[in-house]
């Protein structure tokens, strides 16, 4: 899946996408508003 995300995001390689995901996860721990939005989105997708 990470490679598909990299392709959609402009052709990023696996290590770049991995760093992006890690940073996003860290942001969600700090930014409660962003975390809440992701939770709502996950509910919409039934993830």
pLDDT score recorded for residue 42: 92
Percent of the chain with pLDDT over 70: 72
**Does the pLDDT value for residue 1 go beyond 60?**
no
**Does the pLDDT value for residue 5 go beyond 80?**
no
Integer Cα distance of 37 and 6 in angstroms? 22
Does the predicted TM-score (pTM) go above 0.75? Answer: no
Integer Cα distance of 17 and 39 in angstroms? 21
């Amino acid at each position: 899946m990470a490679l598909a995300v990299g392709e959609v995001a402009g052709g990023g390689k696996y290590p770049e996408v991995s760093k992006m995901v890690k940073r996003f996860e860290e942001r969600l721990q700090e930014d409660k508003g962003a975390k809440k939005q992701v939770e709502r989105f996950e509910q919409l997708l039934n993830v």
